[in-house]
Amino acid sequence: MKVVLLFFGLSFLHCQSSAPPPTVEVANQVDKDSILAIDTLPIFTIKKILPPDYDTTQWTELIRLDSNFMLNLKYATEDNFVKEQLYDCPRCFLDPNAANALLKVQQIFLKQNLTIMLFDCYRPWSVQQALWDIMPNASYVTPPKKGSMHNRGLAVDLTIATLGGDTLEMGTPFDYFGPRGHHTYPNHTAEVQANRDLLKSTMEKYGFRSIRTEWWHYNFRGVKRKTSNMVWECGHSTKQSYQN
C-alpha cells in the first residue's frame, strides 16, 4: 500500500528520553527564511522553532507534543472516499485534553517501536458541511447540524505504524465502509485481530472510546466542547516527506 507520510520538522517541545532536551530558541516572528532553514535541518538540531499561530488554550497541535506522530491526513489529499481535497494543508489539532491523552497512548506504542499514524484529527465545521454536500448520507458522514466529534477536536482517525512508516495490518483501509471495517467482524486473521485489539485496548486505557462500525475512529470522552469552525493557517509547517 502506498503510504504518504507527512512530517513536520518543528516538534521539539517533548523529549522522550532522559537525556537533556535540545536547545530550542523561539523565533520572535514567522518569516520565510526561518521556515526554509528548519527544512534543511535534521531532527534534534533545530535552532529555531516557530511559535504557535493558534490559541493554545483551546487547541494543541499534536506534532508539537511528540515528533514521532505520523501525519497521513487523507482530507488534505484527494486520496479519500470523496476524492476531493478538503484541507488546504495537513495539520493535526485536538482539544488539549484529548491530545495529552493521545500522547500517553503514543508513549505506550513507542516502547514497542511503534507509533501512531493519524488519518484525521480536528475537522472544521465548514469541512463537515463540504463533506455532507458531497456525500449527504448519514451512514457515512455525520450531518453538519448534529456536528461530528471531529468538529469538536475530540475524535481521531488513526492506525498503528512502525517507526519506518509501515502500517500494521488492520483488515481494511481507512474509511472502508462495510462489515470488515466493523469491530464485530468475526473472520479476521489472528494478526489483524491482534493489531485491532492492541489499538483498542490502548486507546480505551486513556479515555478514548471506539464506535462499532469504524476500527480507525476513536472519541475522547474526558471533556465536552462545542463544534468549532477554526481553520488553521498554512505555511507554518516546515517539512513534508513522502515514502512508499
| Contacts to Zn ion by CB under 5 A | 157, 217
SS3 label, residue 208: strand
To the nearest whole angstrom, how small is the minimum distance from the Cβ of residue 120 to Zn ion? 6
To the nearest whole angstrom, how small is the minimum distance from the Cβ of residue 217 to Zn ion? 4
64 or 217: CB nearest Zn ion: 217
At residue 222's C-alpha, the angle toward residues 218 and 226, to 5°, is 85
**Pairing status of strand 48-49 against strand 25-26:** parallel
Q: Locate 72 and state its grid cell.
A: 497521513
Question: Residue 207 and residue 219: Cα distance in Å, rounded?
Answer: 8
Task: Tell me the CB-side half-sphere exposure of residue 163, using CA atoms within 13 A.
Answer: 11
46 or 117: CB nearest Zn ion: 117
Residue nearest to Zn ion (CB): 217
48 or 217: CB nearest Zn ion: 217
Could you tell me if 159 and 175 are in contact, meaning their C-beta atoms sit under 8 angstroms apart?
Answer: no
Strands (E), 76-231: 93-94, 114-120, 155-162, 208-211, 214-220
To the nearest whole angstrom, how small is the minimum distance from the Cβ of residue 211 to Zn ion? 8
To the nearest whole angstrom, how small is the minimum distance from the Cβ of residue 216 to Zn ion? 7
To the nearest whole angstrom, how small is the minimum distance from the Cβ of residue 18 to Zn ion? 35
100 or 142: CB nearest Zn ion: 142
50 or 199: CB nearest Zn ion: 199
